[in-house]
Structure 1
Amino acid sequence: MELVYTGKTKNVFKLEDGNFLLKFKDDVTGENGVFDPGANTVGLTIDGAGLAGLRLTSFFYSKLNELNVPTHYVDTNFDDATMTVKPATVFGKGLEVICRFKAVGSFLRRYGAYVSEGQDLDAFVEVTIKDDERLDPPISEDALAMLNLLTHEEYAILKERTIEISKFVAAELGKKGLTLYDIKLEFGRDAKTNEIILIDEISGGNMRAFKGDTYIEPLQLEKIMLAD
């Protein structure tokens, strides 16, 4: 295997068959030792977080593939905490797409003059550029098109799939009595078909879930979701 990328929460290896292998780490994003799925730095290390993230990611991706939602997912190896995925290209140097159901986190920090904490949001979608130096700035549809990162047509697809996938995840959490506040997704283009597909992970490390008013930590979320 060839190591092609060292990320905050996982490393990426290229396989001989052209697919890629994602090795999940126990690092999670946050600031000052506090977990934050929207942060652009590693905030803390949680023992077992990598495998928990992989288990939950595999759970969601398997269901999405059954629903014919385009993803890069192929299979998982829980013994090695790895996931095999199809090759995909990212938009520019990478985009993150956040779907918000409640006003928390950076949304609340930015717009707190107009919203209260936990206020309902109607599956609000925003896109940020992956750029640690510039703190992952939000970017509009028009700017994405002007910078040749996405066409307006591709943005429409991106937004539609973000809402579809996020509502699916919210519904799955709802079956366990949990409420999804927000979720961070990533998309790319299928290297063979150029179709826009979901990439990266879907785990407690990239979402905020609550039971009532109680925040559910990533490891606890995996236990709740995968319990019989």
Structure 2
Amino acid sequence: MKLLYEGKGKQVFLTDDPDLVVFRFKDEATAFDGVKKESFGGKGEMCAQITEILMSLLEKNGVQTHFVRRLSPNEVLVKRCSMLPIEVVVRNYSAGSIAKNLGLKKGIKFPFPIKDIFYKSDELHDPMLNDDRAVALGFVTFEELKVLYTSALKVNDVLTNFLLEKGIILADFKLEFGKFKDSILLADEITPDSMRLWDKDTLEPFDKDRFRFDLGDLLAGYRLFLEKIST
């Protein structure tokens, strides 16, 4: 397969079908725009399996995604989308940048999900946007933003309820979207790399914050999360 693109967490390969590409998840973990990085054997396989489980769950609940099927332990087949240059973050609890920037205590539950959008740029450190800026700069239209927000909130409803049944709080998460033919699809991945996941009783993290802030073994957290959502 010919390599099309390589990012921090995965490689993207062309296939014989121009409408399909292969995601190969890597074992590397990065934080702080790549300043901190380390390889964890088996991480890629767990991320591929988690993406398969959660994308399949979302499809069954009416969310259109680019996911087709898992091909191997660390590879998934997906529809080849033209990616939108923004990412949508949904926040149910205070954590990360919103807590830091606004001086909030970590773990405050918001009265409703907060939606933020950011321009995808490692060089600029993913600056925050608002609707007017995103549209004025030509990244999306107002109609497309409505689709993104509707899909993001649907994802939040489905995953929040599913994970709570497993004893997990979905504190926040990041989504990326792409255009495929005449549709806007949920794309990229859904893994602990892009979510904050806390144990309902202890608030212990299962996500990449374990690596970011040295809160525990990364693989142990991902493995426990995978076990919980697999049963």
* TM-score (ref. length: structure 1): 0.88
Write the distance in 2 (CA, Å) between the matches of 1:210 and 1:41: 25
Cα gap change, 1:155 to 1:110, in 2 (>3 Å): same
Equivalent position to 2:39, from 45, 58, 62: 45
Task: Summarize deviations over 1:13-59 as a string: whole Å, max 9, x none.
Answer: 1101121000001122324xxxxxxx566633222111111111100
2:54 to 57, 60, 71: 60
SS at match of 1:83: strand
Q: Which aligned runs of 4 or more in structure 1 are off by greater than 4 angstroms?
A: 39-42
Query: Residue 79 of structure 2 is aligned with which of 69, 83, 86?
Result: 86
Contact 1:102 1:181 in 2 (8 A): yes
Instruction: Provide the C-alpha distance between the structure 1 equivalents of 2:191 and 2:168, rounded to a whole number of angstroms.
Output: 14
DSSP-derived class of the 1:184 partner: strand
Relative to structure 1, the CA distance from residue 101 to residue 44 in structure 2 (aligned partners, 3 Å threshold; closer, same or farther) is farther
Name 2:209's counterpart in structure 1. Answer: none
Q: CA deviation at 1:201?
A: 0.8
Aligned to 1:28: 29
State the match for 2:107 in structure 1.
118
Alignment of 1:204-215 (within 5 A): 204-211=192-199, 212=201, 213-215=203-205
Deviation, 1:6, is: 0.6
Find the counterpart in structure 1 of residue 6 from structure 2.
Answer: 6
Q: Which position in structure 1 is the counterpart of 2:95?
A: 104
1:157 alignment counterpart: 147
Where in structure 2 are the equivalents of 1:119-158 lying within 5 Å? 119-121=108-110, 122-158=112-148
The count of residues paired between Structure 1 and Structure 2 equals 213
> Secondary structure of 1:97's partner?
strand
User: In the alignment, which of 203, 217, 229 is matched to residue 225 of structure 1?
Assistant: 229
* RMSD (Å) for aligned C-alpha atoms: 1.5
Unaligned runs of 5+ in 2: 207-220
Residue 214 of structure 2 is matched in structure 1 by none
Taking a change above 3 Å as real, the CA distance of residues 42 and 223 of structure 1, as seen in their structure-2 partners, is: farther
Whole-angstrom distance in 1 between the partners of 2:39 and 2:5 = 19
Gaps of 5+ in 1: 32-38
Give the secondary-structure state (helix, strand or coil) at the position aligned to 1:204. Answer: coil
User: Which residue of the other structure, out of 168, 175, 181, is the alignment partner of 1:178?
Assistant: 168
Displacement of 1:116: 2.3
Please tell me the residue identity of whatever aligns with 1:130.
K
1:203 aligns with 2:191: yes
The range that moved more, 56-65 or 135-144, is 56-65
Compared with structure 1, are the counterparts of its residues 28 and 96 closer, same or farther at alpha carbon in structure 2 (3 Å cutoff)?
A: farther
Query: Partner amino acid for 1:129?
Result: Y
Q: CA offset at residue 105 of structure 1?
A: 0.6
Is the CA contact 2:25–2:45 (under 8 Å) kept in the aligned structure 1?
yes
Alpha-carbon distance in 1 for matches of 2:225, 2:143: 35
What TM-score does the superposition give when structure 2 sets the normalisation length?
0.87
Instruction: Tell me how far apart the structure 1 counterparts of residues 146 and 24 of structure 2 sit (CA, whole Å).
Output: 31
Whole-Å separation in 2 of the counterparts to 1:163 and 1:177: 21
Q: Could you say what secondary structure the match of 1:215 adopts? A: coil
